[in-house]
Chains A and B, each alone.
Chain A
C-alpha cells in the first residue's frame, strides 16, 4: 500500500523496485550504513556479517526455487558445496582470479542442478524433493571418488591468497566489502527475477502447475530453470565461502545445513528475497543471542554442561519455524510489509 499522492504513468514505473522518494533515500542510507559498518564494528562482528552475507545469497537462491516456484529443495547445501569446490579448484589449479571464479562456480552449480532437476518434467510435488535429497547424498560421494587432481579427493582444496586486481583481501574488512557487494548484486538479480516474465511463470507454477501448463507455461522448462537459478545463487555463495574459509572439504556441506537454510527461509517468509534477508538475519541474531546467553549461564551456573547450547539453538529454531507457520505463515517479510503500509497510511486503518 502506497501513501497517497504516489501514482505512476506507465507500467515500467510501477514495476520499479524503489518507488517512492523516501524509499530511495532509505536505500541510500542503508548502503551508507553497510559501507560504514566495518569501521565501527569489531572483527568478530565483521566476520559474522560476512557469514550472514554468504548465507543470505544461498537462502535467496532457495527462495527462488521454493518460494517463487514452489519446488521443495532439500539439497541447497550440496549446490553450495559444488560452487565452493569449483571456485577452489579453479583458483588452485588454473589460477582463475577470485572475481571470475565465483560467477563460474555459480554456473557450475547450476549445471549440476540440471542433472537433478530433469526428473521435474515428470515428477511433481513432494516426490520431487526426493531428487534433491539424492543430490545432497550423492554430492560427497562423487567429490571423494573423483580423481584427486580435480577436487582434492578426500583432502579438499586450500586457497593460499585472496586477492582481486592485485589487492590483498585477507583482512575481515576487505573481504566484507567483497561479500556485501556480491550479495547486493545477487539480491538485485533476485528482485528482478521476481518481476520478470520468468518470475511470473514461476509464480504461476507455484500456484497451480497444471493450470499454468494449460495456459501455456512450459512446465518442464521453467521448473528446470527454477532449480538452475536457485543453484546458481548457491554456487556463488559457495564460491565466496571458499575464499573466506580458504579450505573446502565435503563435510562442511551437510543435509543439516540444507535444512537450516530452509528453516531460515520459512522464518523470513517465502514471498521474496526480502524473506531471505530477514530470515537469515533473524535466525543468526537468535543463534548468537543463545550462544552469548548460554555462555554467560554456563559461567554463572557450572551445573549446566555445554551441549545445552547446541540443543537449545535447535529447539529455538524449530519452535520459531513452527510458530511462524502457525501465526505468520508468510513470514517476517509479510509482517514487515504490514508494518510498512500501516505506517504509510497512518492514522487511517489498513484496509
Chain B
C-alpha cells in the first residue's frame, strides 16, 4: 500500500512539473524558441492572478488573468523574439536568459519583495479512495494538465494552423520558404505558453504564500522538458510523472540513508542516464542532420 500511496503522490506532483514543462514544449514546438525563462513566466502569471484575485470575484479573476497571460505572451514575442527570428538557437537561448533576468526584476519592481497570500481556488484536503489519500488540489491540477495536453495535441496534429507550426519547429527559414508566417507562429507559441504557465501557477499557489521564489520551479521543470524531449507534448507530461514518482520514491527510501540529498539529486541523475541512452529525450524528434 505504501509504495502505491507514494507513487500516487509522486504522480500528482509530477503532473504539475509536467504542466510547466508543457508550457516550455509548446513554445518550442510552435516557434523553435528555447525558453529558459519558463519559471519567470509562471512567476508573472502567479502575481497577475494573485493580484486580480484580491480585487475581483474568483471566476472573473481567473478568466481575466488567463486573458492577461495571453497578452503578456504576445508582448514578449513582439518585443523580444520577433527581432530574433532566424537567428541561431544559441542567440535565442541567450535572449531567454536575458528575459529571465528582466522578468524577475520587473516582478519585484511592480509588486515588491513582500510575500502575500494567494487566494484559495481549489479545495484543500484529500479525497479518500480505499486507503489511498489523494490531494484534491493536485488531482484537479492533474486533470487540467491531461486536458491541456490533449487539447494542445489536437491543435498541433489535427488543425491546419497547428500542422504548419511543425515546420517552424523544424527551421525558421524552411517555414518561411513554405509561406508559413513565423511571426504568427511565434505569437501563438508565446500566448499559449504564457497561458499554460498561468494555469500552472494557479495550481501551484492556490491557498499558498506568494513570493518572488515562485519562479524557482522553472528550474525543476526544465530538466523534465529536456527528459521528455523538446518537441513532444505528451513526452513532457510523461517525463514529469517519471520525475515526480522517482523523486517521491527516492525521498522515501533513499533520503533517510543520505540525509535528504538523494531526492534533490535523483531527478538529475535519472535525466542524465536517460539522455545518455536517448540523446534526444524520451520522445523528442530524432533529427537527421545533413552536412
Contacts and interface: CB of A to CB of B under 8 A. Distances in A.
A–B proximity contact (CB within 8 A): yes
Interface string B209-224: 0000000000100110
A188 to B, nearest CB: 27
Contacts of B281: 127
Interface string A299-334: 000000101101111111111111001100100000
Contacts of B271: 130, 134
A13 B276 CA distance: 44
A314 B265 contact: no
Interface string B7-39: 000000000000000000000000000100000
A311 B226 contact: no
Chain A interface mostly: helix
A123 B276 contact: yes
A286 interface: no
B121 interface: no
A122 interface: yes
B258 interface: yes
A290 B61 CA distance: 36
Contact of A119 (B34, B219, B275): B275
Contacts of A319: 98, 102
Interface string B104-140: 1111110011000000000000000000000000000
Contacts of B113: 307
Interface string A273-317: 000000000000000000000000000000001011011111111
B109 A325 contact: no
B94 interface: yes
A266 interface: yes
B127 to A, nearest CB: 34
B102 A314 contact: yes
B289 A325 contact: no
B97 A259 contact: yes
Contacts of B112: 305, 307
A122 B95 contact: no
Instruction: Tell me if B's interface is mostly helix, strand, loop or mixed.
Output: helix
A41 B226 CA distance: 49
B184 to A, nearest CB: 20
Contact of B275 (A123, A210, A311, A318): A123
B83 A122 contact: no
A217 B79 CA distance: 40
A138 B262 CA distance: 10
A214 B291 contact: yes
Contacts of A99: none
Contact of B289 (A133, A210, A308, A310): A210
Interface of B: 34, 79-80, 83-84, 87, 89-91, 93-95, 97-109, 112-113, 219, 222-223, 226, 230, 258-259, 261, 264-265, 268-269, 271-272, 275-276, 279-281, 289, 291
